Structure 1
Amino acid sequence: MEATVAVTPDQLPELLLHVAVVRPVFLWGAPGIGKSSLVRAFADSLGLDCVTLLGTQLAPEDLIGVPQIVEDRSRFAPPETIARDEPYCLFLDELNAAPAEVQKSFYSLILDRRIGAYELPAGSIVIGAGNRATDNALARPMVSALVNRMVHVHLRANVEDWLKWAAHNGIHPWIVEYIVQRPDHLWSAPPKSEQPFSTPRGWHMLSDALHSYGDGIGDDMLWVLASGTLTTAHASGFRAFVKTMRHAYDLDAVIKGEASWPRDPADRDLLYFLSETFRVRLIRELPASRDHISGGVRRFVLRAKSMLTELAEISVECAQLVIASDEAGVPVLPPWFLVEITRDLPRLAARR
């Protein structure tokens, strides 16, 4: 199912509070963005136990139960985990990954809140969740009768929401600071092959590993952990960032002229990281038009052109990375700045 409108993690609790208490909700989203943890946190906020059933691990009888004879008649006895006397949150995770026979078993539970003779206690809520086929995750077509029995909500990763959550959940400060500088690295689209990719869950796992090792972790092991939880590009960027943290070497120092671009071949990953960070800074701080720019911005532009000249002397590839267009070929830096770069860089290089 494709998303037309999506909500952020911060918006989800209020939506569930108004909708999930009256109708079943199905939560769509990419792997690793926090669907399960958000549902459990929502159940906790209501004081409800959260009972999780994984669609990929169920058979029909696991839900509807097995027949038993009661007063010369047979009836199905639902499992103890479901047949409770007190209200609870029934979380049907990976529901759309379940076989069609299992999906059918949920019909009456989702629509009528009933399994055979057993009815969910008043005040119980039912929430389903699953990944999309476009995420290269296990996802079977959801039968139309089941689709029509739930309110569908699409969840998207949000950097501001994640940073607020991270501040109260012990995420390693290196990771928090890195995501502040590179918010575009919080999440990446799942690859088509079996490779790690960046998600809030992946960053959380890396944080746990870093806490376990301590800040004295060696560079080689840091690389092993980062490349095992993130995309290769993001792992390389994070590794270089940690190097800047350990050596007090950051982009601000280069901009102020207190440090120069790293020239040592062993620091090539650091050079790439600083180049990417410089690109992000230019995108954020340069105005769309050069009309009426402040004196501070004008001084920053002059310094930026000089820095690009210095960078090109070390690595033309890194200099090109700073001013490159996006994947669609659309320039990301203001046209007026690109014109000045084209015009002034040869003269600046000659002057040096």
Structure 2
Amino acid sequence: MSQQHTDTCDALGIALLANVPVVLWGPPGQGKSSVVRELAEGMGAHLETVIASIREPSDFAGLPVVDTASGTASLAPPSWAVRLRDAVERDGRAGVQFYDEVSTAPPATQAALLRPILEGVVGDLRLPEQVRTVAAANPPDVAADGWDLAPPVANRFLHLTWSLDAATVREGFTTGWPPVAVPRVDAAEVAAQVARTTALVGVFLGSRPELVTRVPGSSADAGRAFPTPRSWEMAARLHGHAVAAGANSTVLTLLLAGTVGVAAAGEFLAHLREMDLPDPEELLRDPGSWEVDPRRTDRTYAVASSVWAATAAHPTAERWAACGRVLARIADAGSADIAFSHGRRWARERPEGAMPPPEVVASLGPILTELGLLTRDA
């Protein structure tokens, strides 16, 4: 199997791990439906395949049913959603809702897909949290009566390009098709990495506000990934899961580009490289190992955010005290506003029995006093 296909498979597995809806784009006959079936089998998950192009909006939004006794109406879910819920709840296993041919679904049907994709709600039925969402689509120029995905629908997906190169086809026909695996990761590590990436996204968008939301303006980009607060949040979640799973840089790029678009993802990754941030875990082990550069307040803010995120993910008295030392160094270097903005959360979430070191009290005294953790005459 080619490295390109391996990276795409890894990205798909991480999307399922992170519970981010994913759409596979590719010409007909590339095995998109087959790989989803094999993926569900490998996960031991119940699979429900829904051909979106031949469905009505009520197959996703629900069919109104009037209760004459109470004078109210409810939205009855379709049978496929009931089967999926019952199988997951009965057997205690995962589930996959697979929407095939979404690019040939008319706009009204696409609109009805909004809640099932993002919230897992079909009619008035809420699917279990173990249900994952995968879709498949053909580019409009090769689809039968195809449409671009409407921006609200496109913005709810991770977009991955799915194609089979000659090497992958050769191996598939001779030795079997490679499975797509969902990686196993440590939940605490995932929480720390997601929190760190989320903080870094916030720092980046603070310096590039024009990339917070950028709806595609050209037909070439229609129906694909673009940046919004929702897709940046998905990007941060995917990036955190990918780092925790040990994914390579290509997979990280696929995940970011597939949620916020190639341009925004490229700028964010370049921003991270240029910042060259220290490992927050190293700083928590040795707070004095980092020298604050008063000229680089953007970098200082990013370091403060990542160190606090790492501390919040594993809150112990020792790590809390070390985080305080980092914030104190930032305050002493002339960036008290940055130290105080993070220090308020740090002080409020003090672990039971933890006490700030004397040097931290000296530097962050105003915050500790403000929150009642230090008397004014102490």
Category of TM-score, reference length = shorter chain = 0.3 to 0.5
- Of structures 1 and 2, the one scoring higher in RCO (CA 8 A, sep 6+) is 2
TM-score when scaled to structure 2?
Answer: 0.41
Using the size of structure 1 for normalisation, the TM-score is: 0.44
Structure (1 or 2) with the greater helix fraction: 2
